[in-house]
A and B are shown apart, each in its own frame.
Chain A
Amino acid sequence: DAGITQSPRYKITETGRQVTLMCHQTWSHSYMFWYRQDLGHGLRLIYYSAAADITDKGEVPDGYVVSRSKTENFPLTLESATRSQTSVYFCASTQGPGNTIYFGEGSWLTVV
């Protein structure tokens, strides 16, 4: 039971480069989420998706792009990375409202 896998787990990139963080879940969950976690802010929602081809903005969407062409994948793209996007990124998924939301192991991104 693989659950949710994120890749890469660790990434260092330069300011202005495009970076894509991948998220794959094996449960066929309808809903998927991207959160970022920073000291002093806790977990903040970037984008979420209710189903394939349906996405919506969360609390901090600026500078990020998502897509969901397949139910099991939910990639997060930083179109032009900035130092303020240095963070730990968590992908999550759930079957539906009120159900448990499961998290991946995280992707550590450093923008230099």
Chain B
Amino acid sequence: EDQVTQSPEALRLQEGESSSLNCSYTVSGLRGLFWYRQDPGKGPEFLFTLYSAGEEKEKERLKATLTKKESFLHITAPKPEDSATYLCAVQERGYNKLIFGAGTRLAVHP
């Protein structure tokens, strides 16, 4: 059965304190791994899709990496506006639906 586990559940950082969020997954054949950001009261907002091990993508202070068993979302010098819940999801080959992890709630304090 496909599974996605995110850690930690919650993370508190000081502004400028870099860190990483983890997403470990079990899937028969990975079509893609997706990262989303979700602000309170809003729908998930797309950040990245990674398709193969070794792939990396960057957007502003965020960098996503992928291995055969996990993905990391690295946040460099975060700012308070980076505070949100970050969701990871996998898409299995042959299917179009996403299986989501429970998310990591990130709080960045000035």
Contact = CB atoms under 8 A, between A and B. Distances in A.
Interface of A: 31, 33, 35, 40-45, 48, 50, 58, 90, 94, 96-98, 100-106
B96 A50 contact: yes
Contact of B103 (A42, A44, A101): A42
B100 interface: yes
Contacts of A101: 34, 46, 98
Given A100-B46, A104-B43, A105-B42, A42 B87 contact: yes
A48 B96 contact: yes
A100 B96 CA distance: 10
B29 interface: no
Contacts of B91: 97-98
A51 to B, nearest CB: 11
Given A98-B31, A101-B46, A103-B44, A43 B100 contact: yes
B24 to A, nearest CB: 14
Contact of B43 (A44, A45, A90): A90
Given A42-B102, A50-B96, A97 B43 contact: no
Nearest to B100: A43
Contacts of A45: 97-99
Given A98-B31, A98-B32, A106 B43 contact: yes
B51 A58 contact: no
